[in-house]
A and B are shown apart, each in its own frame.
Chain A
Amino acid sequence: MSRKSEISKFEKSRMWLFFLMSLMVLTFFLLDIILGSVKIPFKATLQIIFNNYTGPEEWKVIILDFRVPRVITALLAGAALSLSGLQMQTVFRNPLAGPYVLGISAGASLGVAILVMGFSSVLLTGTVGKAGNWALVIAATLGSGLILMLILAVSIRIQDVMTILILGILFGSVATALVGVMQYFSSESMLKSFIVWTMGSLGNVSHDQLGILSITVIAGIIISFGSVKILNTMLLGENYARTLGLNVKSVRVIVFISTSILAGSVTAFCGPIGFIGIVVPHLARLLFRTADHKILLPGSFLIGVIFMITSDIMSQLPGYDQILPINSITALMGIPVIIWIILRRKEITPLS
C-alpha cells in the first residue's frame, strides 16, 4: 500500500493548504484595498478596480494611486523578504538567519544613506525619475551585498552558527553607526526624510518605483525558484553537497545575488522591514512539515505575502487617520512568533 496512497494523501493535504493560502492572499489583498482612513463602499471599490466607475474622482485617486500600489508593494515586499530569509537560513544552516538579523537590511540602509546624504534627499521622495530610483536600488543592493559578502567570508572560516549570527549583528551595527555619523553631518531636511525612511513604509512607493521593484523582485524570485535543487542539497552541508557534484562556490554566488537583490531592493523603497525574513520560513516548515524547497519556496512566498498584507492592514488602524510605521508592526507580530519558536525548541527545526 501504500507508498503511493500515503504520499498522495500527504500531497492532497498540501494542495489544500496551498489553495487555502492563495484564497487568503486574495481576500487580504482586497481587504487591504477596501479598508482605510477614507471609507469607500465595497461596490465602488470593485468598480474602480475593474474600470467601469462613475463616482467621485477623489475615490478613484485614493484607490488607484494610493491603495493599489501600496498593497502591491506589500505583496512584493512580503514575498521578497521571506524568500531571501529562507535561502539564507538554508545556506548558512542557521535557523535564526534573516536579512534583518544578519545586518543585510542595515547594509542596504548604509548604501541608501551614502546616496541620499551624499547627493540629495529628493531621492527618497520618489519624484526624481527612473534614473534616481535605479540608483537607489543599486545602492541598497550593493550595501546589502557588502554585508552579505563579509558574513559569507566569515562563515567559510567559522562554522559556529551563533558566532556568525553575532558577527552579523556586529556588521549591521557598524553599518548603522556609519549611518549615524553621516546623519550627524547632514541637514535637517535630509535627516527627517531619512529617519522616516528607516521606519519603513509601504505607502511612499511611487508608480515608477513600483515598476522597478516589480522587476527586481520578480528577477529575485525567478532565481530562487530556479535554485530548488541546489538549496535542497545545501541542507546536507557543504561537504556532502560537494561530493554530490555541486559547485558550492557558484551556489553561494547565486544565492548571494538573489538574496541581495530581494532584500536590497525592498529595503531601498520601503526602508528596513524586520523579522518577516526569519519568521515566515519557520511558519512554512511548521505548516507544510517538509524540508523540501519545492514546497517551502512557494509556501514561504504565500505566507510572506499574507503576513505582510496583514501587517499593512493593521498599520492603517482602520477608522483612524494615522498610519503606524510598518517596521513596528512586523516586529510586534514577528518577535512573539520567534520567541514562541525558540521556547518550543523542538519546533525550531534544526538546519544542520
Chain B
Amino acid sequence: METESLVIGFRKSNRSPYVLFTDISVKAGKGELIAIIGQNGIGKSTLIKTLVRLLKPLSGKILVGGTPINDYSRTEFSRLVGYVSTEIIKVGNLTVTDMVSFGRFPYTNWLGRITNKDTEIILSALEMVGLQNLRHKNIAELSDGERQRAMIARSVAQDTEILILDEPTAFLDLPNRHDVLHLLGDLARKHSKTIIFSTHDLSLVINEADKIWMMTETGMFQGTPEDMALNNSFDRLFPHSAATFDIESGRFLFPPEFHRPLKLIGEGKVLFWTCKALERKGFLVNESDKTDIIIHAFEENGKFIWKLTKNDVVEEFNSICELLQKVDF
C-alpha cells in the first residue's frame, strides 16, 4: 500500500473542504508493522479512515498493488484490506465465534452460509489470538483486551493482505498492550501481512514497529524508529511540550526542574533502576565530578543496599524509596 501526495480532511456540501493534513506520501511494504504516531487531533483517525475507504481523499492517490483503491469493487477491496476501529461493539447474545465469522462475509454466499473451510479459518484465527477457549463466550462479557483480540481475529479471518487498526491499544492495560502489539508483530512477520496502526504508545512502538509514520505540524515523516531516534525526529512530535526524546535511553523525558550533580557507583540492574529513579528526581547522574553526593548501590547476601555519602556522613538504605527521601535534602 502506498499513498501519493494524499490530502485528507472532510468535505461538507456547499462549503470548501476542511483540510486536515496535506502531502502524505508514504509506503507500506509486505510484512511490515507500521505505527502512525502524532498528537491528538492531527488526523490519525482520518488518515486511517481514508486508507480503508470510509472517507474520500480530498486529493492525491492511494494505491494497493499499484492500483488506485477506488478501482477495486467493494468485495475485492474487502478481501484486500481489513479494518479494526476504536468502536466498542457490545451486541448482546453475540459469541466470539459469531464475531470472528463476520470476517468471512466477503467470501460467503447471500445467506452468509459458513462452510467447513470457513470454520477452519475461523478456528485458526481464534487460535492465533489465543481465544480458542473463550469462543462460546458472549462478546459483551469479554475484558477489553480479550475483545480487542476478538476484533483482530475477525480481521484475520477476513484474510486480507493489509490490516489497518485505529488505536488498537487504547483502553488496554500495559500487559495487554504488549500482547496486542506482539500479536500484530507476529501477524506481520510470520504471515507477511502489512499492518498499519495508530497509537499513542511511543515507547512500545519504538521497540516493536518496523516503521513509523509520524504526523507532525511540519508534515509527515517516515522511517524506522532507530533512524528517527538518531535524527532527533521525535522532538518534532511535541513542539509545544517540554518533553524531549532522550537518544541514549530511548525514552521521553521532561526537563528536570533543577540539575544537581551526583555520583552513582554500582553495577547491573541495581545501577540501572537507581539511575532511573534519580534522574526522575532531577539529578544529573555521573555527568560532573563537582559533587558532594556519592551513592554506592550494590547487592549483598541477596539484598540490595544503597550507601549514601553526603557531607562526609554515611547512611545505609534498604530501598530506593528510603534513599530518595534522604538524598533530596
Contact = CB atoms under 8 A, between A and B. Distances in A.
A291 B108 contact: no
Interface string B125-145: 000000000011000100000
Given A229-B111, A244-B158, A351 B106 contact: no
Contacts of A243: 52-54, 78, 81-83
A289 B53 contact: no
A285 B105 CA distance: 22
Interface in A278-331: 285, 289-292, 294
A33 interface: no
B106 A245 contact: yes
B91 A294 contact: no
- Interface centre among A236, A289, A352, by most chain B C-beta atoms within 10 angstroms, is A236
Interface residues of B, number: 34
Interface string B69-97: 00000110111011101010111111000
Contact of A352 (B53, B85, B91, B105): B91
B245 interface: no
Contact of B92 (A236, A237, A349): A349
A291 B102 contact: no
A246 B105 contact: yes
Contacts of B186: none
A244 B110 contact: no
Contact of B89 (A237, A247, A289): A237
Contact of A350 (B90, B105, B158): B90
- If over half of A's interface residues share one DSSP class (helix, strand or loop), that class is named, otherwise mixed; here it is loop
Interface string B230-256: 000000000000000000000000000
Contact of B54 (A242, A350, A351): A242
A226 B110 contact: yes
A244 B106 CA distance: 6
Contacts, number: 84
A198 interface: no
Interface string A203-246: 00000000000000000000000101100110111011011111
B78 A245 contact: yes
Nearest to A290: B93
Residue from the set A232, A237, A244, A352 with the largest chain B CB neighbour count within 10 Å: A244
B98 interface: yes
A245 B91 contact: no
A239 B94 contact: no
A137 to B, nearest CB: 28
Contacts of B81: 243
A188 interface: no
Contact of B105 (A6, A237, A245, A294): A245
A88 B130 CA distance: 35
B102 A236 contact: yes
B60 interface: no
Contacts of B49: 239
Nearest to A247: B74
17 contacts: A229-B105, A229-B108, A229-B111, A232-B112, A233-B102, A235-B94, A236-B91, A239-B49, A243-B54, A243-B78, A243-B83, A245-B74, A247-B74, A348-B92, A349-B91, A349-B93, A350-B92
Interface of A: 3, 6, 226, 228-229, 232-233, 235-237, 239-240, 242-247, 285, 289-292, 294, 348-352
Interface of B: 49, 52-54, 74-75, 77-79, 81-83, 85, 87, 89-94, 98, 102-103, 105-106, 108, 110-112, 123, 135-136, 140, 158
Q: Can you list the 5 inter-chain pairs with the closest CB atoms, starting with the nearest?
A: A349-B92, A245-B78, A229-B112, A243-B83, A291-B94
